[in-house]
Amino acid sequence: MTLREQLDLTGRVALVTGSGSGIGRGIALALAEQGASVVINDIREEAAHESERVIRSEGRRVATTVADISRPDGAQAAVKACLSAFGRLDILVNNAGRQVIKDLATMEPDEWNALMNVNLKAAYLCSKYAIPALRVRRGTIVNISSVHARATLGAFAAYAASKAGLLGLTRGMALEYSSIGIRVNAVSPGTIDTPLLQEFFDSSSDPRQSRADFLKLHPIGRFGTPADIGNLIVFLASDAASFITGAEFVADGGMTISLRKE
């Protein structure tokens, strides 16, 4: 089988959580472009339907489920939407996430819980309810972690903890479910050029300079794009990655490899 044939996802069904915009939309679009039928999930109805419109405009098969997947009923509904729309589930991408940029002394317990519920608990819940369907298809799970799981910044401790937890969850699930044919891997993006990133720069006193300074931290000379992450997910979801499970793939343009930051 050629590499092109191994990367072909025609006939498979993917659920991408948090795919109403940004990285999630890029992942959903990349999977659809390789032939997968995609189910968009987001808690934001308008954003979810915009992602659906973008994918449908390219002639791809897509459905949408607006559900809070940090709740058991919402996670179950998202999985059921895949089975209802397309009759199967082959690929689960646990992408939904949120940030709370606060030091721990000022972070409220409700803020901590809300972050952990979306970033970590939702991945557990969606995986739990997806595993029976994935078992039938010998499917795959990809958890979207972050470079913050390994090297972080001040005021990001809670976010870093949630993303490090996803790496532990990835390894544990890979061990538990490899015997039934389910592969589980993680992707840790670095700086991805999305509207959310620009909002971060815009919050500084000099957004243009802030963006330029941050760009210097990337040896590759640019920020990542949602398509960069989407293409990596395509590989991990495909037969080309059939020998890979329990692994973390860092996609950060070299940001975390340098000992010295200019």
Number of alpha carbons in the 13 Å side-chain half-sphere of residue 52: 17
In a domain, 168, yes or no: yes
Predicted local confidence at residue 11, as pLDDT? 97
154 and 97, same domain (yes or no):
yes
- The closest alpha carbon to 234, from 13, 15, 27, belongs to 27
18/86 same-domain check: yes
Q: How far is it, in rounded angstroms, from Cα 74 to Cα 225?
A: 29
Give the residue numbers spanning the domain of 13: 3-189+226-251
Tell me how far CA of residue 125 lies from CA of 68, 149, 220, 242, in angstroms: 11, 20, 36, 24
Task: Give me 207's structure tokens.
Answer: 């957004």
Residues 178 and 199 occupy one common structural domain: no
Q: Encoding tokens for residue 58?
A: 């390219």
> Is residue 131 domain-resident?
yes
81-96 pLDDT tens trace: 999 999 999 999 999 9
Same domain, 112 and 47: yes
Cut 0.95: pTM above it = yes
Residues 154-162 have a mean pLDDT of 96
Per-residue model confidence as pLDDT tens digits over 228-261: 999 999 999 999 999 999 999 999 999 999 887 7
Positions annotated as catalytic residues are 159
CA dist 109 → 94, 104, 252 (Å): 24, 9, 31
